[in-house]
Amino acid sequence: MWTHKHLLGTADIDAARAERFFARAEHYLAFLREGERKSEELRGKVVVHLFFEASTRTRASFEMAAKRLGAEVVNLNPKGSSVSKGESLLDTLKNIEAMRADAIVVRHSASGVPHFLASRSSIPILNAGDGLHEHPTQALLDAFTIRRKRGQIHGLTVAICGDILQSRVARSNALLLGALGAKVRLVAPRTMMPPAAEALGPTVTVHHDLDEGLRDADVVMMLRIQNERFGGAMMGSTREFARTFGLDPGRMGIARPDCLIMHPGPVNWGVELSTRIESLGDRVVILDQVESGVAVRMAALSLLLTSGRAVGDAAVAS
């Protein structure tokens, strides 16, 4: 049973809870791959999207997930809403609740916004990425993809490389993959590594050299430089970053021969990933991640909008 009311982060997802989640996602992946792709499970429910930051994959995939489950989606564009007239987040929440929405999916540039909303919300809040903090559904879909491709996560070495400092994906993944028994390497130039990054888990190690991070890795996850934050200030030049931290097929020779190549998107081709990486064929699983994303978000919506309530709302906010 999934007893959490909200999905805010990965810090409290242990192996048993993740397994239950993956079983549900597996069910939806099979469902999506079948001809019939629309269920009535969430019929009559309305999910409100509050995206204060740009998004392609996360937003579309949450929307598809809700629709495949029979729910309606209302996309509230903050730029065209009263938030742009100075309405507070709390008032926005209270108004959405008063309209009897069933859940809110929120993305915001400020770390902690989903937690703030959750502390005051009577309906489930799903974090679709908050600032530099967490992006739980991305980590769940990444772990789900690795597990499907490799059978298990325990014992694997996963190198997460690039702009770790500004990446909520890196943070959520380090926490979740660590809890699932992977050895997590965080690999970045010194300017792009958060202080005390090792504190993200007992299996986390920190590396400043890409080749060192890649040695015998089972999975490599590349990240783009988050230029919309303070990206520009963190590096000498894009060309320098591409030369020292860009991944190409030659460099992959250091990793295990079956090492998977992942990226949460959007990819800045020619910077963190060379287009030549495509020559590695089905070891590049970037679009598998996207496919998994819909199934994982279906699992998240289903668990929060049905079973969480089914236990009489004994659910605990996390």
* 92/268 with CB nearer ligand NCD: 268
Query: Cβ 59 to ligand NCD, closest distance in Å?
Result: 9
* 5/168 with CB nearer ligand NCD: 168
Q: How many CA atoms lie within 13 A of 134 on its CB side?
A: 21
* 168/297 with CB nearer ligand NCD: 168
Among all residues, whose Cβ is closest to ligand NCD?
264
Query: Cβ 174 to ligand NCD, closest distance in Å?
Result: 14
Query: Cβ 262 to ligand NCD, closest distance in Å?
Result: 11
Please report, as a single letter, which amino acid is at residue 162. G
* 296/315 with CB nearer ligand NCD: 296
Apex 73 CA angle, 71 and 78, nearest 5: 160
Buried b (16+ CB within 10 A) or exposed e, 144-183: bbbbbbeeebeebbbbbbbbbbbbbbbbbbbbbbbbbebb
Query: Cβ 78 to ligand NCD, closest distance in Å?
Result: 16
* 127/302 with CB nearer ligand NCD: 127
* 224/283 with CB nearer ligand NCD: 224
Query: Cβ 89 to ligand NCD, closest distance in Å?
Result: 19
Q: How many CA atoms lie within 13 A of 246 on its CB side?
A: 19
281: left (phi over 0), alpha (psi -120 to 50) or beta: left
Query: Cβ 289 to ligand NCD, closest distance in Å?
Result: 8
Return phi, psi of residue 168, to 5°. -70, -25
User: Where do contacts with ligand NCD occur on this chain (CB under 6 A)?
Assistant: 57-58, 129, 135, 138, 168-169, 224, 226, 264-265
CA 209 vs CA 72, 245, 263: distances in Å:
47, 8, 19
Pairwise CA distance, residues 217 & 219, whole Å: 6
